[in-house]
Structure 1
Amino acid sequence: MRVPDRPSAFTSDSARDKYHAAYDRLLGELWPVPIDAFDVETRAGSVRIHRAGPATGDPIVLVAGAGGNALAWYRYVEPLARTRPVLVVDPLGEPGRSVQRKPLASGADVGGWLTDALAAVGAERAHLAGFSAGAWAAVEQQLGGGGRVAALTLVDPGGFAPIGWRFIRWATLGAAASMLPRTLRHRLAGTVGNGVLREDALVELMRLGFSYRRRVPIPPVYTDEQIRNLFVPVQVLLGAHSALLDAQAVATRLADIAPEWRVEIVPGTGHSLPVEAPDLIVERILDFPTGRHS
């Protein structure tokens, strides 16, 4: 497996500028509450963070998956920020306003930049929530001894099943369908099992993101020992029809090796779980680790 030896980047300055223009416009259109946007320096580059909610308190930190950035969480900010500080990250290695300057050659590198970002904002007991590759980054942050986290919410996470042809087919069909006219694209969302296709703003960014060359390691499957070495409360939310993993198989494995984890399979959802069940995920984040579903 090839190890990334260069930073992720846009193919040209003009492609980057077009993406950033759309990003800024859509942020203004979609973001429901006032935000404070700022950059922090990490070992691998500068990371853009959007902050909303109360000025004090333990923050909820949201990390998007592959191809995503802070805008992917736009439905989450307002309900979460009613009671908690919310920090929404543009991950390094993904298209957005963060700027990667060094290669991310391993999971330790990915977890390292996230640890640096948490340190830069002074987080000590964050609730770290990640989707897919963002969930993998969150786990790597903890396995690397980064601390600063009181709980993890992993949404259809990477690192719990090998990347197979089913997922590659799902991603390829989603990319192709994103280029179709809106009505047809919406109609096909259910057929290809990708709720993002109904999200017009996110699809616009997806199209512009085709000019971004993503160079991030492919997550290997975690060993039982690695899973047992996560010492903070963990909840895992799985799409029942996820193309990334077999939800029932993952749930069964975790029940055996990490019975204290809260694991939930969400009916009627796939790998696009964050856009298919945002209200449920918000509720689970807010009531974990001491909530009703323990």
Structure 2
Amino acid sequence: MRIGEFKSDKASDRFRAAYERALEELWPGPRTALDIPTAFGTTRVYRTGPQSGEPIVLLPGSGGNSLMWYRYLEALGRHHSVIAVDTVGEPGASVQTAPISDGRDGAAWLDELLAALEVTAAHVVGCSYGGWLALNHQIHHPGRVAALTLVDPAGFAEPGRRFYTWVIVGGLAGLAPRPLRPRLARLVDNSTILEAELMRLVSASMGFRRALPVPPVFSDEELHRLRVPAQFLLGARSALHDSQQVADRLRSLVPSARVEVVPGAGHALPTDQPALVAERILSSFEKR
């Protein structure tokens, strides 16, 4: 199997320049960068906030990296240690050296990462693909995670034409002149295209060959194995799945989970409703 890598040195250099620019422009306050070796490659993480207490671990969606969470860092890091992750196999500062072929491999990578960081009671927050990884980790390697927040996670429907169209059209809209983008963001239901610095990073990441597996749908038996406190935040207009059907299934199979369908939000829920998502992450500490 292939691994995720840049198509050329030129593509890599272009992305690195855009990445470093975005990091300096968007990251609020101090940070500590760590490169953690795992069996699947070296993983870049950034730590911020107080170093004690239960950490919040942030996993990005497909094609993204830790910078997708930049709007959350100040609020989450005020009273909690925050670890933002560049997932191996995604365009970021991590370097993949071995293939991730399925959810078990993804779970093994995340468990190695948390073990190396000496994390034993994390609150893992995963968006889309990151949510799929977080759920797989809890299913296959329970014990290091104290709670989960899954933001419109993958793994509840096969990605179909509607989703891929949403991705492609959103990418094209992000290339439009900036004055047109607010209207296009409403038309394509993707607020991410309003993030100018992130869209420059997305454009630069077009030179990256992604080789991670397409998430299969979680089975009932797998979801029954979810034991830690979990909350699912679903965009009512998500292009990935029928959010109401997903909510009904979760309430049936995981009655202890908190499930919320967010009106007016799509699959880009973290950028559609950042204040709401941050508040839900923090409020989960009070409810445990």
* Structure 1 and Structure 2 fold alike (TM over 0.5): yes
- How far apart in 2 are the matches of 1:10 and 1:187? 33
Amino acid at match of 1:177: A
1:128 alignment partner, SS class: strand
1:74 alignment partner, SS class: helix
- How far apart in 1 are the matches of 2:29 and 2:128? 25
The C-alpha deviation readout for 1:179-229, integer Å capped at 9, x for no partner, is 211112232011001110111111101111111111110111111110010
8 A contact 1:115–1:146 mirrored in 2: no
Selected match of 1:172 from 143, 168, 175:
168
1:200 alignment counterpart: 196
- How far apart in 2 are the matches of 1:289 and 1:158? 24
Q: Which runs of 4+ in 1 moved over 3 A?
A: none
Selected match of 2:277 from 270, 281, 286:
281
Instruction: Percent identity, please.
Output: 49
The C-alpha deviation readout for 1:126-150, integer Å capped at 9, x for no partner, is 0000000000010111112252100
Aligned-residue CA RMSD in angstroms? Answer: 1.1
1:251 matches 2:252: no
Structure 1 position 178, deviation (Å): 1.8
Selected match of 1:125 from 121, 133, 138:
121
- How far apart in 2 are the matches of 1:139 and 1:43? 20
1:15 alignment counterpart: 11
8 A contact 1:44–1:103 mirrored in 2: yes
1:242 matches 2:242: no
Selected match of 2:267 from 245, 266, 271:
271
1:34 matches 2:36: no
Selected match of 2:108 from 94, 107, 112:
112
Structure 1 unaligned spans of 5+: none
- Once the two structures are overlaid, the 10-residue window that deviates more, 18-27 or 58-67, is 18-27
8 A contact 1:233–1:289 mirrored in 2: no
Selected match of 2:93 from 92, 97, 117:
97
TM score, norm. by length of structure 2 = 0.98
8 A contact 2:108–2:141 mirrored in 1: no
Structure 1 position 29, deviation (Å): 1.1
- How far apart in 1 are the matches of 2:249 and 2:135? 17
The C-alpha deviation readout for 1:137-167, integer Å capped at 9, x for no partner, is 1011111225210001000000011211110
Selected match of 1:212 from 202, 208, 212:
208
1:227 alignment counterpart: 223
8 A contact 2:107–2:141 mirrored in 1: no
1:166 alignment partner, SS class: helix
- How far apart in 2 are the matches of 1:121 and 1:199? 31
- How far apart in 1 are the matches of 2:124 and 2:168? 29
Selected match of 1:159 from 155, 174, 178:
155
8 A contact 2:124–2:145 mirrored in 1: yes
Structure 1 position 289, deviation (Å): 5.1
8 A contact 2:174–2:194 mirrored in 1: no
- How far apart in 1 are the matches of 2:201 and 2:106? 23
1:135 matches 2:131: yes
1:87 alignment counterpart: 83
- How far apart in 2 are the matches of 1:183 and 1:146? 47
Structure 1 position 290, deviation (Å): 4.0
1:191 matches 2:187: yes
Aligned residues: 288
Amino acid at match of 1:180: A
- How far apart in 2 are the matches of 1:290 and 1:86? 17
- How far apart in 2 are the matches of 1:65 and 1:146? 22
- How far apart in 1 are the matches of 2:242 and 2:172? 24
Amino acid at match of 1:9: E
1:264 alignment partner, SS class: strand
- How far apart in 2 are the matches of 1:220 and 1:80? 31
- How far apart in 1 are the matches of 2:27 and 2:142? 30
